[in-house]
Amino acid sequence: MGINNKMKKKHFQRRHLVELFMKTIMRIALVIVAGALGLILWTIITRGLPALSWDMVSQVPKGGYYMGKEGGILNAIIGSAYLATGGTLLAIIISLPIALYLKAYLGNSKWGGYVRLSLDVLWGIPSVVYGAFGFALMIFFGLRASLLAGIIILALIELPIMTRAMDEVIRRMPVDLEHAALALGSTKFEVALHVVTRQMLPGIVTAILLAFGRGIGDAASVLFTAGYTDRIPTSLMRPTASLPLAVFFQLGSPYPEVQQRGYAAALILTIIVLAVSLGSRWLSARLNKYTVK
Amino acid sequence: MKTHIQVKNLNVYYGKQQALKNINIEIPRNQITVIMGPSGCGKTTLLKTFNRFFELSENTQLTGEVLVDGQNIYDKEVDVTEVRKVVGLLAQRPSPLPMSIYDNVAYGMHIHKMKNDRAEYKAAVRHYLEIAGLWEEVHKRLHDPATSLSIGQQQRLCLARGLAVEPEIILGDEPTSALDPISSQNIESRLLDLKKQYTTVIVTHTLRQAKRLADHVIYMYLGEVIEAGPAHEVFTNPQHERTKQYLEGLF
């Protein structure tokens, strides 16, 4: 008994040791993650920054660009912007109804579980498989490598992550909130518009951002479906370049100047992802101000 | 005693289970009626038939009539949003809407288009926050999130929000059970202040609260109304053995 009991003291010491051990493991994990990010940034900045110029972001490749002559990767920047934006928009159109259907009709039923399992499996499939699948589909439909095909395949890649993230957001919607608005005499539509949307929007923005990040960074799927070209696409049926492939092709070059440009392209891609992340975080925080936690 | 709500031959089923059995009661105007009884006796279900909230559960069925000022609120031509405007609800736990303090109070008035311009809305928001005894505490931070308030303040905000749509009846589903003693007392005194203008129906499981608030009492057991009448009669001279046992705290 008492506070300074010897038997208990040993037990307390052991518990503190366990805590110290776990805390150390967590700190090591944190250092690994932060260190990896730091190293990647260090690499692309030190190697890419010298090659980064106004020409890089404002011009398309000119003759001899891939041997170190003039030009830029505007084609890939615009291509990636089109691909990722288009893919994300298409994915939203498909994901939101799936997520709402899961909530409203399937809930935690057996079928709801199957749908969630399928989405989780889809999430884990490597993008090169998506690319090959998309390529097979394109041959079947007689489609050639194009912006449209790239958008479709990116939407398929983004779909599982976006749907599952939205699903989690929607599942956390407190039913009390809907009831509170109904009790004031709102119609169900008013509840959905004024209350449910306000409450869920920040989470949905995050879900969209996650999916966008995966879409814009993906190389293998667009290699098969969108192709690569030095021109900026003028229609959905034209092939298009993309930043991940611009990185890939240039890094594979034997010319050191071109390799450097590959790192510069990676830097541009990273800056775009960072900007979109910061932008949506800002938006999410603004929308989050009034949500009920 | 003038009747405000009249319940006639009311039966309610959840799936196959009958939750309310042949209820016939009258609820007096501008008084506080307290529904009491052991848990699971159907008191909350009965309350929820007054604003058609029990319909939100799946698989429900109802026969009989609930008349508010002589109008059966379950008539086909009655608009449920109109019922809920007239019959306000103070829930068990305060659930502020995901908006600012100001917008929480203004929301109901906005959807029913009750005011003409901003100034009128502003004045009304102030008015109802004052009635709920919250104005002094929040007038400097009306645009903060409603969730930044304490639980007790949130419940008073919900009261202001409910009153703002100008109901005639206030339902309270154990409205103080989630609150600390001081906040509970605060809500209770608001309800006592308001009873001259509103018909109030409160569900409670604490006998002491019932005694503090009630003008009229309904005692329920296993889905049936065992006894109903003026509070002083029921509390001092219950007619039924079950009521007597409940009042003595036997179960």
A3 has pLDDT over 80: no
Look at residue A154 in the predicted model and tell me its pLDDT: 95
Q: B3-93+167-247, what's its fold?
A: Rossmann fold (3.40.50)
pLDDT tens per residue across span A182-233: 999 999 888 888 888 889 999 999 999 989 999 999 999 999 999 898 899 8
Taking residues A47-61, what's their average pLDDT? Answer: 89
Question: Is the distance from CB of A134 to CB of A156 less than 8 angstroms?
Answer: yes
Q: Looking at residue A232, what DSSP letter applies?
A: P
B206 has pLDDT over 90: no
Confidence of residue A180 (pLDDT cuts 50, 70, 90): very high
Confidence of residue A1 (pLDDT cuts 50, 70, 90): low
B215 has pLDDT over 90: yes
Of residues B61, B53, B68, B51, the one with CA closest to residue B8? B68
Instruction: Give the strand order in the sheet containing B169-173.
Output: B87-90, B169-173, B199-203, B32-36, B216-221, B224-230
> In this structure, what token pair is assigned to residue A222?
């667009």
pTM strictly above 0.80: no
Q: What is the phi/psi pair of residue B145, to 5°?
A: -60, 140
Interface probe for B, chosen from A176, A179, A184 (most Cβ of B below 10 Å), is: A184
**Residue B207 belongs to what H/E stretch?**
helix B207-213
Confidence of residue B131 (pLDDT cuts 50, 70, 90): very high
DSSP B59-90: SEEEEEEEEETTEETTSTTS-HHHHHHHEEEE
pLDDT tens per residue across span A248-282: 999 998 998 889 999 999 999 999 999 999 998 89
Out of A180, A194, A293, whose CB is closest to B95?
A180
Of residues B202, B209, B93, the one with CA closest to residue B157? B93
Chain A CB contacts of B162 below 8 Å: 183-184
> In this structure, what token pair is assigned to residue B109?
């008035």
Query: CA nearest B80 in A: which residue?
Result: A185
Look at residue A290 in the predicted model and tell me its pLDDT: 86
Out of B98, B112, B158, whose CB is closest to A185?
B112
The fraction of chain B above a pLDDT of 70, given in percent, is 99
Look at residue B251 in the predicted model and tell me its pLDDT: 58
Least confident of A199-203, B83-87, B120-124: A199-203
* Residue at A196: amino acid letter: V
DSSP A36-66: HHHHHHHHHHHHHGGG--HHHHH----TTGG
A30 has pLDDT over 60: yes
Domain ranges of chain B: 3-93+167-247
Look at residue A47 in the predicted model and tell me its pLDDT: 92
Look at residue A45 in the predicted model and tell me its pLDDT: 94
What is the value of ipTM here, to two decimals?
Answer: 0.91
pLDDT top residue among A69 and B182:
B182
Taking residues B29-52, what's their average pLDDT? Answer: 93
Report CB contact under 8 Å: B93, A198: no
A11 has pLDDT over 90: no
Taking residues A110-125, what's their average pLDDT? Answer: 93
Report CB contact under 8 Å: A194, B145: no
Confidence of residue B250 (pLDDT cuts 50, 70, 90): low
Q: How far is CA B142 from CA A143, B97, B153, B218, in A?
A: 58, 14, 13, 39
Out of A184, A194, A289, whose CB is closest to B165?
A184
Chain A CB contacts of B81 below 8 Å: 185-187
Out of B95, B99, B147, whose CB is closest to A176?
B95
